[in-house]
Structure 1
Amino acid sequence: MSPVFKILVILTSHATAGTSGQATGLWLEEFTTPYYAFVDAGAQVEVASIAGGQVPVDPHSIEAVGKNPASVERYLQDEALRTRLATSIKIDGLAAADYDAVFMPGGHGTMWDLPTSDTLARLVSTAWGEGKIVAAVCHGPAGLVNAKDEKGQPLVAGRRVAAFSNTEEVAAGMDKSVPFALETRIRALGAHYESGPDFQPFAVRDGRLVTGQNPASSAKVAELVLQALREAR
């Protein structure tokens, strides 16, 4: 039996916050919550990253066993998924045509390698042009800043977009470390930026574009992605 949907998840390969040397990377819940929502819905999920291989996980996104979000607890018991995160596929050579959706979780690492990857920009732009669902959560929308729509305009221009807010960045103590303020950049590209209260669940869907504000929004993003995929069918 073939999978209902094929979803490409693209993760950061960047492990340190700028010149600070502070460990960063993927915020685990933003990957695990949608991942399990997708596979539990019957989807086939490909796990890729900018550089391939081991995906760095932000150490602040994992607590002692029993103190994590449910999806992270499930991940800690899931040897197969941990192996997939250690052996992620490099995005070079992947074809958007092979997937129904492309999804980019966040974590501060994304702020360095997603916006600077020409390969990612082409892949996301192609996926959009081919009518695929494009989604991201928290800092994952950093992977949208160089993507173009079918008219060659910024993909986010004129569209409703949520992403980690400037006030959340200040609250996280990372506003001086990140290479740019994601909310500010999204707005400058012409997006209709939307947000809810800091660190509370908030996600928006504008047609085939689904975005969420912060880690707490990952379940809602997954729900909206699945909704969009089912409608596309």
Structure 2
Amino acid sequence: MALRPKVLFVVTSHDQLGNTGRKTGWYLPEGAHPHEVLAPYADIIWASPKGGITPLDPMSDQVDDDDLLTRNFLLKKESWRSSEKLANFLGRADEFEAVFYVGGWGPMFDLATDSGSHQLINEFYAAEKIVSSVCHGPGALAKVKLPSGKYFLDGEPVTGYSNVEEGMAGVVEVMPFSLEDALQTASGGHYKKATEPLGVNVVVARGGKLINGQNPASAGPTAEAILASLKQSGKI
């Protein structure tokens, strides 16, 4: 029997929303929906910059009544409750088929500039593995540069939480940088967004090796795109 593929889910270790005094972290549905899509087919390992228990954004565990998938995921309290240190996975890209950066505001404050995360992305890229993210997860990709000095995203279509969506959430002044603007710069003007704010939008590039979703509604569809790419490449 063939071994199940492994997917590395990376979440933030950061729990403070700027200087507002509000708690933040990773956004539960953006981890729950992709997990439930991929878990029947792949082993999922959780990582974060600091390792250990990771911070959930307090708003995100107030699960909508109709989001039974996230509610069940929250109640299971399985492996996602803790994580391994991201640094432990450096040099191990060959063990995995994909890395997925979960959203939430936290990644904008730590993963965006984390040197270990940047190295991890470079290693997955060099090994021709899937690099993916959703919502603010693309913040982890926006500043990454390849050994050549070019941006990792250079010339590639990409998406992530838009300026309009950030404004609707009332946190524009709190963010360390504009995600949309950073993705636009890194990609060389290839940032893509949904026709309407908060609309589903998944952007697939590099022949299925670069997959990103714009916002919470795009989390499940992003995972479906990852699954489709794994199936197409014969990994599942």
Q: TM-score, normalised by structure 1?
A: 0.93
Quote the offset at 1:149 in angstroms. 4.4
In the other structure, the counterpart of 1:35 is 35
Tell me what 1:192 maps to.
Answer: 190
Gaps of 5+ in 1: none
For residue 59 of structure 2, give the secondary structure of its aligned residue in structure 1. Answer: helix
Contact conserved, 2:12 with 2:48, CA < 8 A, in 1? yes
Match of 1:71 in 2: 69
- Report the equivalent of 2:84: 89
What is the distance in 1 between the residues matched to 2:55 and 2:189?
30
Q: Percent identity among equivalent residues?
A: 33
Pairs within 5 Å for 1:106-117 = 106-117=103-114
Give, in angstroms, the shift of residue 201 of structure 1.
Answer: 1.1
- 2:232 and 2:114 map into 1 onto residues whose CA distance is 31
1:154 is paired with a residue of what secondary structure? coil
Q: Look up the equivalent residue of 1:87 and give its one-letter code.
A: S
- Give how far 1:76 is off: 2.5
User: Partner of 1:204: helix, strand, or coil?
Assistant: strand
**Kept in 2: contact 1:161–1:191 (CA 8 A):** no
CA distance in 2, matches of 1:199, 1:70: 20
Name the Cα RMSD after superposition: 1.5
Give the TM-score normalised by structure 2. Answer: 0.92
Moved more, 210-219 or 84-93: 84-93
In structure 2, the CA distance between the partners of 1:230 and 1:152, relative to structure 1 (3 Å rule), is farther
CA–CA separation in structure 1 for the residues paired with 2:126 and 2:219:
25
Give the aligned length.
Answer: 228
Counterpart in 2 of 1:59? 58
CA distance in 1, matches of 2:111, 2:117: 7
Q: Which runs of 5+ in 2 are unaligned?
A: none
Q: 1:8–1:46: 8 Å Cα contact kept in structure 2?
A: yes
